[in-house]
Amino acid sequence: MPSPARIHRPTPRNLARLAGVLQRGGLVALPTETVYGLAADALDAAACGKIFRAKGRPATDPLIVHVLTLAQADEVGELNPAARKLAAAFWPGPLTLVLPKREIVPAMVTAGLGSVAVRMPKHPLFRKMLRLAGRPLAAPSANPFGYISPTTAAHVKAGLGRRIGHILDGGPCRIGVESTVLDLRVPEHPVLLRPGAVSRAALAAALGRPVRLAPAGTTGEAERTTGLPGPGMLARHYSPRTPLTLTEKIAAGRAAAAPEEAFLFFRRPKTRAAAEAKNVFWLTATGSLEEAARNLFDRLRHLDGGAWHAIRAERVPGRGALAPALNDRLARAAARKG
């Protein structure tokens, strides 16, 4: 077991060495524009097995395969015309498509399913590693199973530092929440499995047809086959250890009455007294959903590391693309059990 993990700066020499680690069947945590991923050669079953062990992830939970090009995407999954439309509109970017799987992908990667989740990431360092490694890379979020996804190299080290050898530091992630996952196995019936920065409305507009929401707690094929939902679908996921309660708007004055609890507001409270209280935190100073998304997982980790008895968070207001994604993650963090 490699220990402890080294954080590498993205020098050309380090990138080449880390590509070698991937080619030899090793694990490297890499930055993407959404969250950090724990990468391995997607076509090497033994390498991907190491991902499951490092994360403590159940073998029933399939991985996302990251690709550099459309041709590579078509090598791992069957790109139907609807998938090509979405790829043209949103790739490279924070969109994962669940497609019929090709045989080349080991069963371990897809948890034995007939489908594979494919994403073409935008982060220049991840793309460079795909190019250097010369193969698709399987990568779930680089956190112990069920915990909050990492948006910095330090987050990865805090969670997996004793279980993996290498972390590539690309600074904080630009988006901050995981990709939108869309089930496109049946192109006439697209189903949103996980909300992210690419909104349901944007997907529907690009496809020219409505996109259904997955019924809560299901994943379509994943559930039918294994009887277990994928964790993106688990009610409790992305979770701090400190109990978290999610409510509609919290009155600014409430924090003063409960000093042993941490209050996570969407926006910085307007009065100075409220904003300066030690137990008051917020996701954005300006009301920007983008800023809130970048901060969400870091705030949850920070609050979880404090001595708070409980965390009270308020739902994210507004209709922007990221509001459903942020409320989805907050709701999962608040759920008591899976």
Binding site for Mg ion (CB under 5 A): 141
The binder of 63, among Mg ion, ligand TXA, none, by C-beta within 5 to 8 A per type, is ligand TXA
151 in contact with ligand TXA (CB under 6 A): no
- How many residues touch ligand TXA under the rule CB under 6 A: the total is 32
**27 counts as binding ligand TXA under rule CB under 6 A:** no
Cβ–Cβ under 8 Å, residues 282 and 294: no
> Contact between 117 and ligand TXA (CB under 6 A)?
yes
CA dist 196 to 17, 40, 86, 162, 327, Å?
A: 32, 23, 15, 30, 10
Of these partners, ligand TXA, Mg ion, none, which one is at the site of residue 195 (CB under 5 to 8 Å by kind)? none
Q: Which is nearer to ligand TXA, 62 or 159 (CB)?
A: 62
Report helix angle 81-90 to 200-207, nearest 10: 120
DSSP characters for 203-252?
Answer: HHHHHTS--EEPPTT--THHHHHHSS--GGGSSS-S--SS-EEEESPPPT
Q: Which is nearer to Mg ion, 61 or 169 (CB)?
A: 61
- Judged by beta carbon distances under 5 to 8 A according to partner kind, the member of Mg ion, ligand TXA, none in contact with residue 77 is none
Q: Which of 70, 44, 41 is nearest to 132 (CA)?
A: 41
Residue type, 306: G
62 prior amide bond cis, ω within 30: no
* Helix-, strand-, coil-residue percentages of the chain, each rounded to 5: 35, 20, 45
What minimum distance in Å lies between the beta carbon of 140 and Mg ion?
Answer: 5
Nearer to Mg ion, 34 or 141 (CB): 141
209, 188 contact by CB (below 8 A):
yes
Taking CB under 6 A as the rule, which mask of x and - marks residues 37-56 in contact with ligand TXA?
x-------------------
Residues that bind ligand TXA (CB under 6 A): 32, 34-35, 37, 61-64, 94, 96, 98, 110, 113, 115-117, 119, 121, 139-141, 178-179, 181, 193-194, 219, 221-222, 230-232
